[in-house]
Structure 1
Amino acid sequence: MTPVSIVLLGLAMATDAFAAALGKGAGMARPRWGEALRIGLVFGVVEGLTPVIGWLLGSAAAPFIEAWDHWVAFALLTGLGLHMIHKARPGDGTDEEPGFSANGGLLAIAITGLATSIDAMAVGVGLAFVEVNIALVAAVIGLCTFALVTIGVMAGRVLGTLVGRRAEVAGGLVLIAVGAWILYGHLQAHG
């Protein structure tokens, strides 16, 4: 993966958490930087760890499906991208993230961080089938999430859910593009 695709992947993985952070910020009377940084840190750590877990699971399966691993990566990333786009549709009932109330504590924030990072775990599974430095990818995903969540909490009062939905659509499109790029690169190398 190129550095640009790694950063784009990190930003795409952070969009769910960003949308949740916008909702959190919108529900807070006066978001403070200290609290926004704490929420961003929790989300960033969780979002950075989950692709590593997925990568470990995928690595265990890689020897059994090596001949078509690029198709697995493409299918997982495309499926996740389409799911993110579908979730962003107005009126689908997913406006609120589970456990993420305006007065939620650290546990509620961590649970929400985990809920928004399941897609990152699936991406980690897909990345096990391509040559990638998972530590670097996980660090970029964690840092992007930390930054976007912190900004999202602070901007939530102003931006609300409108930007959150558009961010999820953009994240979904990026995932589909990364999956297509992996498939294209493999088919070009072996075609």
Structure 2
Amino acid sequence: MNLWELFVIAVGLSMDAFAVSICKGLSMKKMSWKNGIIAGLYFGGFQAGMPLIGYVLGTQFKVLITSIDHWIAFILLCLIGLNMVKEAVDSFRSAGCGCEKCAQEEQNDSFDVKTMVPLAVATSIDALAVGVTFAFLSVDIVPAVSFIGSITFFLSVLGIKIGNVFGAKFKAKAELAGGIILILMGTKILLEHLGILAF
């Protein structure tokens, strides 16, 4: 997996954290860079840690399923992507931001551990499955998770700022874009392994 592909996956994965960061920014009366950095550290840290756990789990089974690893990567990435697209479509159908999580965050401007850890876990669960696919694709995991964590950190801080300035109108679009990106990456991996694409 090259750097560009990793970047695309990192952006796709970070869209949930970006969307929740927009909600957190919306809840703040005045932009606080300190809170932006706190959110970035939580979301980026968990987004880096979950693929690492998934990678460790995936390596345990890699030998048993090498012949179908590309199908597993395709299915996992597409399922994650389809779920993100579904959430985005639901948001577009609803009034306003259209997201229960966002509505809750508007009432909760706290950045303490009890608030941030559940949010960080919820937004990084998808990355656990991606870590499993990384094991099957023999990705160099330490640079990969560092890169994913850094991208998520940056986008989370940006999300806080966007939410504070512009409100929640970008949230559903971010989830939709992230879902489509992951579906396309899963399809590309499958087609490459089947010999249909050669990039």
Q: TM-score, normalised by structure 1?
A: 0.92
Residue equivalent to 2:2: 2
Residue equivalent to 2:100: 95
Extract unaligned runs of 5+ from structure 1.
none
Structure 1 residues 22-171: aligned runs within 5 Å: 22-89=22-89, 90=91, 91=94, 94-96=99-101, 100=105, 101-171=108-178
Cα drift, residue 133 of structure 1: 1.0
Letter in 2 for 1:82: L
User: Does the CA-based 8 Å contact 1:40-1:150 persist in structure 2?
Assistant: yes
User: Percent identity of the aligned residues?
Assistant: 35
User: Does the CA-based 8 Å contact 2:9-2:181 persist in structure 1?
Assistant: yes
Cα drift, residue 99 of structure 1: 7.8
SS of the counterpart of 1:128?
Answer: helix
User: Does the CA-based 8 Å contact 1:99-1:111 persist in structure 2?
Assistant: no
CA distance in 1: counterparts of 2:50 and 2:170, whole angstroms: 25
Aligned-residue RMSD, C-alpha: 1.9
Q: C-alpha offsets along residues 54-85 of structure 1, whole Å, 9 cap, x if unaligned?
A: 11111111111111111000000011100110
Residue 99 to residue 112, structure 1, CA distance change in 2 (3 Å)? farther
User: Does the CA-based 8 Å contact 1:71-1:183 persist in structure 2?
Assistant: yes
Q: Does 1:187 align with 2:187?
A: no
Letter in 1 for 2:142: A
Q: C-alpha offsets along residues 76-97 of structure 1, whole Å, 9 cap, x if unaligned?
A: 0011100110011223974316
User: Does the CA-based 8 Å contact 1:99-1:108 persist in structure 2?
Assistant: no
CA distance in 2: counterparts of 1:94 and 1:46, whole angstroms: 22
User: Does the CA-based 8 Å contact 1:13-1:171 persist in structure 2?
Assistant: yes
Letter in 1 for 2:65: I
